[in-house]
């Protein structure tokens, strides 16, 4: 009878154990928006309310992500000598996105940077913002504005321009129905700010926010 050396036997046993437990599993296919809603409806009808809520949260995540893409795509083109930074992928935090969309509306950010220089323009869009009503009181009553602020009209939309440092630092807050847009500029004058955020740019963003 042929004997198997102990080291060889140990190797065989380890290989067999690995084969027994290691398995390649196909990654589940992502569900589409309609399929998720169908499953959520079925869960609700079956009184599985937790599953229904989970499905609706997944649906909100998908809708919120697509809305964010549409809003950011409507950001103005960067002026000459500037560039708009690429958007970060928010696919890794779906639960946070769903929660933010439910509680505080959709938030979208973008940063323009001057290619040679220190110029920076930070844009924050808060769609369906609870702050919009408070801000609308200010735009409807210019007497509430301080001496460093002025009211700006974009057709049916209103904005407030605040001067931080004349010639190089400004903040523009724009109200589009229930959406609040804040543009902060450093290292650039107000002429560049209004050249980027002109009437056409505001109208384009307003159309994306209404989607």
C-alpha–C-alpha distance, residues 152 and 134, integer Å: 17
3-state SS of the chain is CCCCCHHHHHHHHHHHHHHHHCCCCCCCCCCCHHHHHHHHHHHHHCCCHHHHHHHHHHHHHHHHHHHHHHHHHCCCCCCCCEEECCCCCCCCCHHHHHHHHHHCCEEEEEEEEECCCCCEEEEEEEECCCCHHHHHHHHHCHHHCCCCEEEEEECCEEEEEEEEECCCEEEEEEEECCEEEEEEEECCCHHHHHHHCCHHHHHHHHHHHCC
> Residues 43-101: pLDDT tens digits?
999 999 999 999 999 998 888 889 999 999 999 999 999 999 988 765 544 555 555 55
Structure tokens at 188: 């650039």
Predicted pLDDT at 147? 85
55 closest CA partner among 42, 64, 67: 42
Identify the residue whose tokens are 């690995």.
18
Amino acid 4: pLDDT: 47
**What is the predicted pLDDT for the residue at 140?**
82
pLDDT at 197: 97
The predicted structure's pLDDT at residue 92: 44
User: Which of 176, 182, 177, 149 lies closest to 163 in space, CA to CA?
Assistant: 149
Low-confidence residues of the chain: pLDDT under 70: 1-30, 89-105
Parallel/antiparallel/unpaired status of strands 106-114 and 82-84: antiparallel
Under a CB-based contact definition with an 8 Å cutoff, are residues 160 and 136 in contact?
no
- What is the pTM assigned to this prediction? 0.76
């Amino acid at each position: 009878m042929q004997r198997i050396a102990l080291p060889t036997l140990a190797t065989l046993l380890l290989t067999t154990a690995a084969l027994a437990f290691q398995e390649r599993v196909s990654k589940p296919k992502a569900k589409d928006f309609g399929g998720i809603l169908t499953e959520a409806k079925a869960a609700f009808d079956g009184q599985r309310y937790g599953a229904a809520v989970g499905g609706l949260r997944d649906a909100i995540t998908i809708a919120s992500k697509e809305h964010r893409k549409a809003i950011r795509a409507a950001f103005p083109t960067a002026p000459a000598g500037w560039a708009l930074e690429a958007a970060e992928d928010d696919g890794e935090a779906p639960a946070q996105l769903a929660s933010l969309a439910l509680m505080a509306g959709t938030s979208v950010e973008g940063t323009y940077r001057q290619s040679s220089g220190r110029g920076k323009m930070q844009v924050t869009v808060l769609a369906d913002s609870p702050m919009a009503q408070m801000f609308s009181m200010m735009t409807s009553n210019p007497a509430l504005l301080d001496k460093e602020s002025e009211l700006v009209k974009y057709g049916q939309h209103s904005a407030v321009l605040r001067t931080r440092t004349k010639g190089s630092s400004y903040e523009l807050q724009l109200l589009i129905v229930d959406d609040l847009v804040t543009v902060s500029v450093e290292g650039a004058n107000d002429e560049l700010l209004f050249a980027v955020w002109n009437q056409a740019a505001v109208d384009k963003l307003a159309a994306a926010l209404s989607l």
